[in-house]
Amino acid sequence: MYDALVIGGGLAGCSVALQLARDDHRVLLAEQATYPRHKLCGEFLSPEAQASFERLGVLEAVRRKGARPIRTARLTAPTGTATDHALPHAALGLSRYELDRLLFQAACRAGAEGRTGARVTNVQGTLKGGFTASVDGETVEARLVLGAYGRRARLDRALERPFLEQQTPYVGFKAHYAGPAARSLDATIELHSAPGGYCGLSPVEGDRINVCWIGHVDALTDSGGTPTEMLRQKLRQNPALDERLQTLTRVSDAFEAVSQVPLMPKSRFAGDVCMIGDAAGMIAPLCGDGMAMALRTADLVHPLASDFLAGRRDAAAFRGAYRSGWTRRFGRRMRLGRWVNAAAFRPGAARMLVHTCRAVPPLARWLIRNTRGRATGRATGPRLAAAGR
């Protein structure tokens, strides 16, 4: 019998497994993939993420992997008009190829039992009576199950989650590029709005640039159904993005791709399975805060789960505290993120937003601040934990 089964070894899963293992709980961290692996993501780590890394004791390791500092954000309208804004604190750029492996290893070092190539299916049970699940075909028992399996997975269907009833029109693609423009992008993240979607360019280790976009499925279909053509025919209509890509060459073998990116609200629990990270709710990618939020949901649930496992909090109190803590910390930025995402998909609104941010820089600063959490970590950790109790 494990104390906790954590489903998914992305940021949320590795972080919570590490923290629960540090508290001497018996944790099984099951990841269906094997590391290292590429993953669709803009790979921009907002300052808030660094605070979590510091608490997990991995910030230095993240830096040693070659994470690139990012200090400025440039937004461009579909016309190419640009506006630059200093970030309130430096962000980092590191590939998921390096980051997820590093976090998984850190969780295992902390005492979690990590299994890779281990898909979890058939989750059943309750917080009161305990759970069973199949992990790579083997039946395991756990007192608590944390769903950290990302934005959309087969398990959502098995758990009959209501958000699946809504279709979403968003597709996403990502690849790494290299070339002369990589140097001019040093320390800058660029977000280019274009017909059919928006595209982010962000530096990662090894002098590479992450090129990642989210677009409307109609824009993909109109341009023949391939990411290369979608980029060429739709997104590169933005002259600023076109100019950047002229001197960049794709170095990834293929694009990572995802469809049905679910930005709608989700429930925090499916039955008694507690959802964290994207499984609890995904913030619009252009906020660049999804990974930080995944880490913060782990920080939020960790003391509550620890209390539940130690008998200091019953199932109802655990559920209530997590639901209300989540809404308090993330509800507002999720709503704002959906609003900014909708604007980015309308060329007229995107143009107006960029022009207004140029004319009124405090608006840009307000948007940047309010689509993410606090950057400073040391003090925030214990406060978060205390607030959760």
Ligand X SMILES: Cc1cc2nc3c(=O)[nH]c(=O)nc-3n(C[C@H](O)[C@H](O)[C@H](O)COP(=O)(O)OP(=O)(O)OC[C@H]3O[C@@H](n4cnc5c(N)ncnc54)[C@H](O)[C@@H]3O)c2cc1C
Q: Minimum CB separation from ligand X for residue 197, in Å? A: 9
Q: Which residues pair with 201 in a beta bridge?
A: 190, 211
Residue 145 or 212 with smaller CB distance to ligand X = 212
Please, what is the angle between helix 47-56 and helix 380-388, to 10°? 80
Q: Are 98 and 205 in contact (CB under 8 A)?
A: yes
- Stretch binding ligand X (CB under 6 A), from 69-77, 225-233, 278-286, 348-356: 278-286
Task: CB nearer to ligand X: give 227 or 290.
Answer: 290
For 182-223, the DSSP string reads: HHHTTTEEEEEEETTEEEEEEEETTTEEEEEEEEEHHHHHHT
Residue 127 DSSP symbol = T
Q: How far is the CB of 121 from ligand X (least distance, A)?
A: 6
Tokens 């507002």 sit at which residue?
Answer: 332
The one segment of 126-134, 190-198, 235-243, 273-281 that binds ligand X by CB under 6 A: 273-281
Q: Which is nearer to ligand X, 355 or 369 (CB)?
A: 369
The 8-class DSSP code of residue 67 comes to: P
153 near ligand X (CB under 6 A) = yes
The correct pick among 140, 201, 261, 375 for binding ligand X (CB under 6 A) is 261
Q: Are 18 and 107 in contact (CB under 8 A)?
A: yes
For 96, the 3-state DSSP assignment is helix
Residue 231, classed as helix, strand or coil, is helix
Q: Is 149 in the site for ligand X (CB under 6 A)?
A: yes
CB 274 within 8 A of CB 93: no
Smallest separation, CB 231 to ligand X (Å): 13
With respect to ligand X, which residue has the nearer C-beta, 312 or 335? 335
Which amino acid is located at 121 in the chain? T
125, 172, 262, 303: which one binds ligand X (CB under 6 A)? 172
Q: Which amino acid makes up residue 318?
A: F
First to last CA, the chain: 25
Question: Would you say 81 and 370 are in contact if contact means Cβ atoms under 8 Å apart?
Answer: no
Q: Which stretch binds ligand X (CB under 6 A): 76-84, 265-273, 277-285, 322-330?
A: 277-285
Residue 148 is a binding residue for ligand X (CB under 6 A): yes
Task: Calculate ∠ Cα 17-19-113, nearest 5°.
Answer: 35
Exposure letters 138-147 (e unless 16+ CB within 10 A, then b): eebebbbbbb
Taking the least distance from each CB to ligand X, the nearer of 290 and 313 is 290
- Rule CB under 6 A: say whether 120 interacts with ligand X: yes
Of 250, 98, 254, nearest to 178 (Cα)? 250
Please report whether residue 277 would count as binding ligand X according to CB under 6 A.
yes
Show contacts with ligand X in window 15-74 (CB under 6 A).
30-33, 40-44, 46
Segment contacting ligand X by CB under 6 A, of 21-29, 68-76, 226-234, 283-291:
283-291
What 3-state class would DSSP assign to 320?
Answer: helix
Contact segment (CB under 6 A) with ligand X among 8-16, 53-61, 73-81, 311-319 equals 8-16
> At closest approach, how far in Å is the CB of 30 from ligand X?
5
Distance between CA 215 and CA 78 in Å, rounded? 14
Among the listed residues 5, 6, 12, 343, the single contact to ligand X using CB under 6 A: 12
Closer by beta carbon to ligand X, 310 or else 342: 342
The minimum distance between CB 335 and ligand X, in angstroms, equals 16
* Between 173 and 318, CB nearer to ligand X: 173
CB of 5 to ligand X, least distance (A): 10
Q: Which residues are at the interface with ligand X (CB under 6 A)?
A: 7-13, 30-33, 40-44, 46, 119-120, 148-151, 153, 155, 172, 212, 214, 258, 261, 277-279, 282, 285, 288-292, 294
